[in-house]
Structure 1
Amino acid sequence: MKVGILTMFNGLSSTYSLVNVVAEQLKMLLNNNIKTKLLVTEHCSAKEQEGIYKDERIEWAKVTNTLNGEQIHWHDYTQAKGAVHDTFFAEAEVIAEDLIEKLADVDVCIMHDIHYQGWHLVHNVAVRKAQKELPNTKFIAFTHSFPANRPSNPEWPFSARYTPMPNTIYAYPTYSGISALSKQYNVPQGKCRVVNNSLNLLENMSQETQTIAKNIDILSSDILIVYPGRLTPGKRFERVAAFAGAMKSKTEQDIKVVFCDFKSSDIKPAKYKRIITEAGYNFGLQEEDILFTSDLGYPDGIPRETVLELFTLSNLFICPSFSESFGLTVLEAASRGNFLVLNERVPALEELGKKLNAYFMRWDARNYGYNTKEEYQPSEEVYYQEHGENILNLMRENNVLHAKSMVRKRYSPQWIWRNQLEPLLD
């Protein structure tokens, strides 16, 4: 399959929101190994190519914007009737001829605002002419602004902004606009689809975070737990894994755990990792649910900036640590909007947690002058499951936390691609 994106961009400045929308679609296509052609005007400068626009996998096609050696100047035809300039149809003809050649090897052509914008009326008409010679090309027409009210008797060529094109699906960013979209183009709602704009949270994050994202699915999980610390039994890594597993088995949520670990002399890392993973597996996690950043080439720990980036993505922080003098990671997790679950038996965590309205659970702990040991009835697993279910309900009721989690998993490029854009290409 080969997909063409028809934009008619004159420039690629990221201040133009549509440039960013197209950039995300380019990434979706290229990341899924789909041959991609980007069609822009012949006057679009390569000097502004940044980010994905520099990807060598993109096939660039510059559509003519010249008639008889003179540059074509676009006119804004937002009205439903009137007169077009003298060379309008001649311009549409030469553009159509060029589009026939440029789209000849394309299976699907995604158009952005070509049918909507009055500035693109000449391209709108040109595409309709070209389509007659492209019977095997499917078209998807995106509208990115509020649909226009359909006039009662639009005249040609102005009616191109209100008339459906054959073999074309009409797309809009939200469900609320589908009815208005279908009315503008006089097309059944069954020919309209929703493709949300996506937010690529990883785009401006560090290479370390992007490497982690390639090795564990940190975007689409319902619950993402990040736990940084020295790889010592005192930090109770195995309790984090066990709790996550019990929560997963009880609530049937997709849960991922990223341990930002660094080696300790207290215990051999390989031995302790086996203890941690076995605890997680015994309580309900799968192999793909756990990742140690030390296994990715960071035995001495990942940069602090990367930990903060991961906390920006995560939504649940569990700290069952045996002993803490303060708990700086608690502040870091809280500052990035995580639900906090702390060991109530550790005085420093209790003090800090009360100030932060944290949720408390009980684990073994070191207090001043003595240690405490917990007994769970009927079992540790049931204790985790009961609290896990309660924590999930509290997280769902928290509007800010719910919004943060939804943005990460529901509006990620991966979700938009898999559930909305990819189905349109079939």
Structure 2
Amino acid sequence: MNDHLQEILQTLRKNKLRTTLTGLSVSWGIFILIVLIGAGNGLKNGVMENFSDRAVNRITLWSGTTSQPHNGLKSGRNLQFADKEVELIKSDVNESRLIAARVDRNQTITFGSEYGAYNIRGVMPDYREIELLVISPENGRFINGLDVKDENKVIVLDNKIAETLFKGKSALGEYVKVGALMFKVVGINTKKIRWGTPNAYIPFTTAQAIYNPSKKFNQITFTVEGLETKEENESFNESLRGLMGRSLNFDPKDTQALWVNNAQADYIESQKIFGGITLFVTIIGILTLIAGIVGVSNIMLVSVKERTREIGIRKAIGAPPASILKTIILESLIITAIFGYIGLMLGIGLTELINFVMEQSANGQPVSDGPQMSVFKNPTVNIGYAFFATIVLIIAGVIAGYLPARKAVKIKPIEAMRQE
């Protein structure tokens, strides 16, 4: 084996330019493969980040205004939900799991000499899991079933409200004035705000009693399970509209009467799109890599032709075909492996550098109250793709060397030695 390696290295040194140019085509191919996969991952991670703020399997309903007459009732009716719609979803929608109705009011929250106008949101206990609020044990708790049952005057503050009103002091156990009423702070939500202004959360029944004596509201959010395809979600949406239409007495086909946002369907569609993007960039990268491998194969053909006389002499003195085959395949494998590894490291290094720069840029940006959407994030390549690329290189190196090697071992010694 040492003799084979010495012979190969000597051949590579004699043809430095040819070897370098051949290797660069392999390096470029795998570099493009890694960069394209990294870019696809960055785009996918960035868009999927926008789904991470809430449960991806949530359905949100907003009541609207009828645009069509129905059952003798005229159009233009303002529809509103009541407790019976919440119970109807719990009992009749088999796919439903967590559920939370919601009431919103703008109120001034005051503590001592500090105050501010914020959104007061009356919610049910499941709201925390649906919206993925972050309340660690040292930051108290969220609204619970007893609070809802007893209409307790307790409040959970978003972290930004707590920082504004309490100036770094602990807010837990303190009382804040919401409008003209006092509420006890029982929890702090530390989830980063990506959309709009911060909220304060109170029990749904408390909000109904104080701000909404009619007991009517306009939004219900719940999660579902078992809807895995676009067709299943479309069928579910139609069934849900029919159920709400019978309860609120409107035509289920009247899209103005009830607004349905099926985040599960949007998530499934996004997964399909990015699956296609990943497949596309992978194919492009592999084709680029194949172009480099073809270059290696062509160079090995030239190399075999140049060494035809040498091969004939070796066969004439008794060198077995397997020895010649091994030498040429090993030379091809060394070229593809070394230069392929260089391209692999350069590609991974570039994606990691881009990710580092993006993280540093994000850390240096001020927090905004406006909408913050992520489009590109963490454009790195996982270790699985690196192993895949390595295996491709090994297989390609063997194939690129085998084809000219097989031709070489078929040359008759006397014919080979006649070559100039």
**Length-normalised TM-score, structure 2:** 0.26
Higher relative contact order structure (alpha carbons within 8 Å, sequence separation ≥ 6): 2
Greater share of residues in helix: 2
